[in-house]
Amino acid sequence: MRRPIRTNTMLAAAAAAALWFMPADAAQYGQQPQAAGTGQNAPTPRTPDGKVNFSGVWIGGGGGGGDTLKPDEQGNITVLSKGRPCHPGQECKPGINFERDSGVRQRMDPNLPLYKAEYWDKVQDLDVNGNFKDPDIKCYPEGLPRIGAPSKIVQTATEIIFLYQNKNTFRVIPTDGRAHDPIRSQDLTYYGDSVGTWDGDTLVIDSVGFTDESWLAWPGYFHSNNMRVVERLRRDGNTMTWQVTVHDPDVLMQPWTMTPVTRRLNPNPKALLVEDLPCEDRDQDHIATRERG
């Protein structure tokens, strides 16, 4: 079994070096040079066939969030550091107890999946005993949707590729109109069998065929292997919104639409991919409490 090796020194070095993913070459399929404007003030680039072009490096938000963005005057991101989340009208200060803060925030999120009554005891048990039962502790893949929004996207005429910083994960999603593969859609995998379609300017990704070994989110939110995940991506200028709806009638009372994640384009031409640290499970036998961050 393996667990992430993440000492404080490693985390500090990784944060200081986190320039995140090299943007796709401008010569790639239909990619247009990014405008100097930021956010929704910038034009939304399109591919030669008129589709919204999602290619690029996207930073901020994500499955855990909490990244403090430090853009320069052109909007380029060169440093990502952990910090206490900023609230409107309050000064942003470094996180004093970031991991514990993260746990409290996730438990207090009002947007919760509504489980059938017979499964709430299981959710509570998984949450309380997460140090021993969370699959992420054992270095299993986070799975969909827990992994969050992609950190880099590469788009072609027939497929879209998602790259994730966490555990160097990738997904290749066809967008050529094909249906789910009859074999792969029956496999039990962490990221399922995914196909993409267009709803106007919104990219819709439908995924089925999941193992039930992953969780939806950190506080013990499990799912069945009959789960279906629908992602919706929209781009407005240099801002991308990623939203997920989880359909799992085996355990949920109703579909759960997760809180949207907003990411900003990083146009920094010197950005590069920082390799994730290896995972080696060597701590679980020495855990003495049920507290986790």
The answer to whether 173 and 196 have CB atoms below 8 angstroms apart is: yes
User: What's the token pair of residue 25?
Assistant: 């070459």
Number of neighbouring beta carbons within 10 Å of residue 197: 14
3-state secondary structure 95-108: CCCHHHHHHHHHHH
CA atoms within 13 A on the CB side of 125: 6
**What is the secondary structure of the chain as a DSSP string?**
---B---HHHHHHHHHH----PPPPTTSTT--PPPS--GGGS---B-TTS-B---EEEES--SS--EEEEE-TT--EEEEEE-PPP-TTS-----SSHHHHHHHHHHH-S----B-GGGHHHHHHHHHTHHHH-TTTTT----TTTT-S-SEEEE-SSEEEEEETGGGEEEEEE-SS----TTGGGS-BSS-EEEEEEETTEEEEEEE-B-TTSEEETTTEE--TT-EEEEEEEEETTEEEEEEEEE-TTTBSS-EEPPPEEEEE---TT--PPPPPPB---SGGG--SS---
Residue 228's closest CA among 268, 256, 202?
Answer: 256
C-alpha to C-alpha distance for 116 and 228, rounded to whole angstroms: 17
pLDDT in tens, the chain (293 residues): 444 444 333 333 333 333 333 333 333 333 333 444 555 578 999 999 999 999 999 987 543 333 445 566 666 655 444 444 455 555 555 544 545 556 666 667 789 999 999 999 999 999 999 888 999 888 899 999 999 999 999 999 999 999 998 888 999 999 999 999 999 999 999 999 999 999 999 999 999 999 999 999 989 999 999 999 999 999 999 999 999 999 999 999 999 999 999 999 988 877 776 888 888 776 666 666 666 65
Number of neighbouring beta carbons within 10 Å of residue 274: 17
Which pLDDT does position 132 carry in this prediction?
Answer: 87
C-alpha to C-alpha distance for 67 and 94, rounded to whole angstroms: 11
Question: pTM (2 decimals)?
Answer: 0.75
For the chain, the straight-line distance linking the first and the last C-alpha, in angstroms and rounded, comes to 21
Residue 61's closest CA among 243, 212, 193?
Answer: 243
For the chain, which residues make up each domain, given as ranges?
8-286
C-alpha to C-alpha distance for 207 and 246, rounded to whole angstroms: 10
